[in-house]
Chains A and B, each alone.
Chain A
Amino acid sequence: DQQVKQNSPSLSVQEGRISILNCDYTNSMFDYFLWYKKYPAEGPTFLISISSIKDKNEDGRFTVFLNKSAKHLSLHIVPSQPGDSAVYFCAASKNAGNMLTFGGGTRLMVKP
């Protein structure tokens, strides 16, 4: 049973537009959420995180939104750039310092 789900396996966006990647979770014990970015032939790299005490966290072009009542989070990238083309994984943890449960990933393609 997948506790973290990314229902869109792929997303295509025009350069300069907004990319919105979505993630749903089922375990109400999760209280820390992360997004990772993965290029081909490389390991995932940490992108941005959010604690359950917040509903938004922003870092440059990247913003993560958390809706605890809906058990839903999203990653907004604006403006999207071709270098953002990668697979994005959503991950959740039950508390800081604990192991991560990952979603299946969404492949983002940003077209020039």
Chain B
Amino acid sequence: DAGVIQSPRHEVTEMGQEVTLRCKPISGHNSLFWYRQTMMRGLELLIYFNNNVPIDDSGMPEDRFSAKMPNASFSTLKIQPSEPRDSAVYFCASTPTGWTEAFFGQGTRLTVV
């Protein structure tokens, strides 16, 4: 199993540009999570999907952030427009239904200049 796959691994963009991060969860996992890691706030949950449906998006910082899961094997996190304070490492994780131990991807390091 290839694990959770995220792309790109690194993204540098200018302030105001749209950024799209991608995630392919582990096959058969029904729950998908987007996390953001910063020095100040550690690992914070942005949004949680179960069976492709958003269950909790209370962690999404503002309307500039949106996430979709069009099918069981793909999710995107979009930031439009991006700002320098969005610079962070963004992780995607997935779990089978009923599990708590999430499996993480390698993350996307986003730098907004």
Contact = CB atoms under 8 A, between A and B. Distances in A.
A99 B42 contact: no
A80 to B, nearest CB: 23
Nearest to A41: B106
Contacts, number: 58
A25 interface: no
A63 interface: no
A89 B42 CA distance: 9
Interface stretch (B11-19, B69-77, B78-86, B92-100): B92-100
Contact of B104 (A34, A43, A49): A43
Which of A6, A42, A97 counts the most chain B CB atoms within 10 A?
Answer: A97
Contacts of B105: 43
Q: How large is the interface on B (under 10, 10 to 19, 20 to 34, 35 or more residues)?
A: 20 to 34
Contacts of B53: none
Contacts of B91: 43-44
Contact of B100 (A34, A45, A102): A34
Interface string A68-100: 000000000000000000000100010011111
Given A103-B42, A104-B42, A96 B106 contact: no
10 contacts: A34-B100, A41-B106, A43-B91, A43-B93, A44-B91, A46-B102, A89-B42, A89-B43, A104-B42, A104-B43
Interface of A: 6, 32, 34, 36, 41-46, 49, 89, 93, 96-105
Given A34-B101, A44-B104, A49-B100, 9 more contacts: A36-B104, A41-B106, A42-B106, A42-B107, A96-B98, A98-B100, A100-B45, A100-B102, A102-B43
